[in-house]
Amino acid sequence: MNEPLELRKVTKYFMDGEQKAEILKELDFKVNRGEFVAIVGPSGSGKSTMLSIAGALLTPDGGEVIVNGRSLGGLSDSEKAKVRLTSIGYIFQASNLVPFLKVKDQLKLVAELAGSWDDSARKRADELLEAMGMSQRQNRRIQHLSGGEKQRVAIARAFMNEPDLILADEPTAALDASRSNEIIALIKREAHSRNKAAVLVTHDESVLHHCDNVYEVSQGKLRLR
């Protein structure tokens, strides 16, 4: 079976004025099914850049990104969009939900976009909302939810299309300690119980005990901590 994510010698530059700043330098990384890993490192070290490249949201300047055994390099934009929609679940710092849609419709929308809104998807949406403790609020509009509730809906949405790879960029930055632990435990449970790969970028040391491995970005490369 193919690994959900592999980065091979990934390099990324940004222009800093006239200077070329090399953020990632031939970085190698791999995550297995059922594995939940954290990426830590100082501000500006390249964590979000790495996650965006892993999630097919940003193109590297060198190296290869392989999602479920497929190299993204040779894919057209529409093929990449399909990978993003069906193979990857994203959770960001701000929940990035559609403000005017009801809770349940957020899940329906991503399933419809993937062409998979059917009876079994309806059941899955119900189960996910139940698991996130959001069943009672399924007909609420997003703007009427608290920060923690929004984040739980965002997680349910990220899991909706059963992606093999879950990418979370500072998902707890706006939450208190107990909510943060709750959210991270939900991601861990999905990875472990459904055999998904999950990658968490975080500054929050207090949630790292949930992770199977912790990597640090340093000098453009990753090292196991």
Tell me which residues touch ligand ATP (CB under 6 A): 14, 23, 41, 43-49
Select 47 or 196, whichever has its Cβ closest to ligand ATP: 47
How many angstroms separate the CA atoms of 54 and 12, rounded?
Answer: 12
How many other β-carbons are positioned within 10 Å of the β-carbon of residue 164? 20
- Minimum CB separation of residue 60 from ligand ATP in Å reads 12
DSSP state of 102: B
DSSP helix/strand/coil, 131: helix
Select 44 or 69, whichever has its Cβ closest to ligand ATP: 44
Select 24 or 111, whichever has its Cβ closest to ligand ATP: 24
- Minimum CB separation of residue 49 from ligand ATP in Å reads 3
* C-alpha closest to that of 184 among 148, 160, 215: 148
- Minimum CB separation of residue 172 from ligand ATP in Å reads 13
Select 9 or 144, whichever has its Cβ closest to ligand ATP: 9
Instruction: Name residues whose C-beta falls within 8 Å of residue 223's C-beta, 6 or more positions apart in sequence.
Output: 215, 216
Instruction: Name residues whose C-beta falls within 8 Å of residue 204's C-beta, 6 or more positions apart in sequence.
Output: 172, 173, 180
- Minimum CB separation of residue 131 from ligand ATP in Å reads 29
- Minimum CB separation of residue 72 from ligand ATP in Å reads 18
Give Cα separations from 72 to 31, 60, 80, 159, 192 (angstroms): 16, 10, 7, 22, 26
How many other β-carbons are positioned within 10 Å of the β-carbon of residue 78? 7
Q: Helices (DSSP H) in the chain: which residue ranges? A: 47-54, 77-87, 103-113, 119-131, 147-160, 177-194
Select 131 or 173, whichever has its Cβ closest to ligand ATP: 173
Select 197 or 201, whichever has its Cβ closest to ligand ATP: 201
- Minimum CB separation of residue 175 from ligand ATP in Å reads 16
Whether residue 224 contacts residue 37, with contact meaning beta carbons closer than 8 Å, is answered with no
